[in-house]
Structure 1
Amino acid sequence: MFTKTDLIEHLQNIGVDPLGTLKIHISYKAIGAVESGAETVLDALSDYMKDGLLVLGAHTWRNVGTDNPVCDNLYTPTCIGALTELFRKRPGVVRSLHPTHSVAAFGKDAESFIAGEEHLQTPCGAGGTYHKLWQRGAQILLIGVNFSRNTFIHGVEEWDGAVGTISAEKADLYTIGPKGDRHYTPQYRHCARVGSNTFTKLEPEALSTGVMTLGKFGNATTRLMSAKQLRAMVAKHLKQDPNYLTDY
């Protein structure tokens, strides 16, 4: 059974910068047995990143749409795992105002990091949190999941010319802020035929070129990478073929 001390040591071993910005995608089940369960995992991550910025997804794309067009910042649950739902409710964690692709952040500059997402009209638009990950030179850490869960790549699709990934029509969506403020947040949504399932074909190159390194967090395999290096790698493919991420 893994302890909080074990998990903090694992973060050190895989090369996570405790003073930087860290975006995590995580499978709790893949970690294995942890003393005191999920809260210990979040305690380890939060304590390790206490002098940096810790970011997890708080997405609601499965819960919010034309049939249910309102995302309530305080009450609409995430749709990407139990740990993300626990994390967004923790003291000191703030959640961005994106209607379908919000993130939850804890630590240095968290409020400024999440600011302004109610003005985006796409899932990962320029100026939003995923774009800020690139600007800040963040690390992206996949714990027990592969590139199919790497939402940052959706951002690269938007910024660097991918074809056929965003809908032609907007959905009329709304976001309610933590103080009850209501925002009209219409969205062009993801619409790729195969979507993020093609992202996994990037993994061999990311590993062989050093963009990504492998490690362990509990029993889970980790994939750690630089947002800047990953964008450069993906953008190179999109420049050669804008359909690269929508074709098998």
Structure 2
Amino acid sequence: MTEAAAIARSNGPVTQARLVVDLQRLGILPGMTLLVHTSLSRIGWVCGGARTVIESLLQAVGPDGTIVMPAQSCELSDPAGWCDPPVPESWWETIRTTMPPYDPHLTPTRGMGQIAEIFRTWPGVQRSAHPQVSFTAVGPLSADILANQPMDDPFGIRSPLAALSDHNAQILMIGTGWDTCTALHLAERLADPDGPKFQDGTCITANGERRWIRISLPETQTERFEPFGARLDGNSLLRHGHIGSAASRLFPLAPAICMAVQDWSRQEQPPQSDQ
């Protein structure tokens, strides 16, 4: 959505004071731990842009709260698998040998939106170590949440998502669809821990040297997120409201994951024989 379209859908400038009130009405309380997904353009024309949204979130949870956002950098992957857009096969080896290694301070997000990218550089924000699907966080629980993220299982039982579940985090979706709900990847891993994997590559720094490495990652099925989300939308766990002009949701991570695991575990089970 263009800035002109954001202006057209707004009945006036969206200010920090308004955003804080909207967050409180939705159910955000001081001290909460939030995994946040946001679309700046859906909020309307925000006075101060992404900075104002971040400051509003921090004000709403206060100094005892923790804000977490996905900070994915999918370009740090094997170019052989790129499709949006693809690159010629003749480029692949050059890309593998020259790709800058992951740096939690320098590597930008990709496809995460303005708010997640500005949050990445926010004073005091920490970032997890995975080169492709990292998370960023600020607040007293940041170090604990980001401490573990295995290279080959970044969304599993030792991931930031699992830590968020342990800390009774809430998921806040501001103008975003269920296809962006990263936490549901944890449900996928719990429902099918031995599920199929695919081969990929990435670039890291090891012992002070740049290295291209091969990794094996669990396959994901994000097409399941929308149907599950539609069911969750009607559940009492979830609160609906608006942040600015953006339709928004707030719900506890752990119970939602439990529901998804129950649904998807049944889907993974083979049909029973009549014999």
TM-score range, shorter chain: 0.7 to 0.9
CA contact (8 A) 2:145 2:164 kept: no
Match of 1:134 in 2: 165
CA contact (8 A) 1:172 1:186 kept: yes
The answer as to 2:217 corresponding to 1:189 is: yes
The answer as to 2:259 corresponding to 1:233 is: yes
2:147 to 105, 112, 115: 115
Structure 1 residue ranges (4+ consecutive) displaced by more than 6 angstroms after TM superposition:
180-185
Match of 2:202 in 1: 173
Larger gyration radius, structure 1 or structure 2:
2
CA contact (8 A) 1:96 1:114 kept: yes
Give me the whole-angstrom Cα distance separating, in 2, the residues matched to 1:153 and 1:59.
Answer: 15
The answer as to 2:70 corresponding to 1:38 is: no
The answer as to 2:14 corresponding to 1:2 is: yes
Structure 2 vs 1, CA of residues 123 and 75 (structure 1 numbering), >3 Å: closer, same or farther?
A: same
In structure 2, list runs of 5 or more residues that go unmatched.
Answer: 1-12, 80-95, 270-275
* Deviation of the 1:121 alpha carbon: 1.2
* Deviation of the 1:86 alpha carbon: 0.5
| Pairs within 5 Å for 1:1-248 | 1-49=13-61, 50-61=63-74, 63-67=75-79, 68=96, 70-79=101-110, 80-117=112-149, 119-161=150-192, 166-169=196-199, 171-176=200-205, 187-189=215-217, 191-192=219-220, 195-242=221-268
Q: Which amino acid aligns with 1:74?
A: H
* Deviation of the 1:163 alpha carbon: 7.7
Query: What TM-score comes out, normalization by structure 2 length?
Result: 0.78
The 3-state SS of whatever aligns with 2:240 is strand
The 3-state SS of whatever aligns with 1:102 is strand
CA contact (8 A) 2:76 2:203 kept: no
CA contact (8 A) 1:16 1:139 kept: no
CA contact (8 A) 1:96 1:104 kept: yes
Give me the whole-angstrom Cα distance separating, in 1, the residues matched to 2:202 and 2:147.
Answer: 18
Give me the whole-angstrom Cα distance separating, in 1, the residues matched to 2:213 and 2:157.
Answer: 15
Give me the whole-angstrom Cα distance separating, in 2, the residues matched to 1:185 and 1:81.
Answer: 28
The 3-state SS of whatever aligns with 2:34 is strand
* Deviation of the 1:135 alpha carbon: 1.2
Structure 2 vs 1, CA of residues 186 and 108 (structure 1 numbering), >3 Å: closer, same or farther?
A: farther
Give me the whole-angstrom Cα distance separating, in 1, the residues matched to 2:109 and 2:144.
Answer: 21
Give me the whole-angstrom Cα distance separating, in 2, the residues matched to 1:152 and 1:186.
Answer: 25
CA distances 1:190-223 after superposition (whole Å, capped 9, x unpaired): 544xx32331111232122213221110100001
CA distances 1:47-91 after superposition (whole Å, capped 9, x unpaired): 222321100111112x11124563221111101112111101010
Q: Which amino acid aligns with 1:54?
A: I
* Deviation of the 1:35 alpha carbon: 1.4
Give me the whole-angstrom Cα distance separating, in 2, the residues matched to 1:161 and 1:190.
Answer: 10
Q: Which amino acid aligns with 1:227?
A: L
Give me the whole-angstrom Cα distance separating, in 1, the residues matched to 2:213 and 2:251.
Answer: 31
CA contact (8 A) 1:98 1:175 kept: no
Query: What TM-score comes out, normalization by structure 1 length?
Result: 0.86
The farther-off stretch of 155-164 and 139-148 is: 155-164
Aligned length: 236
Structure 2 vs 1, CA of residues 220 and 185 (structure 1 numbering), >3 Å: closer, same or farther?
A: farther
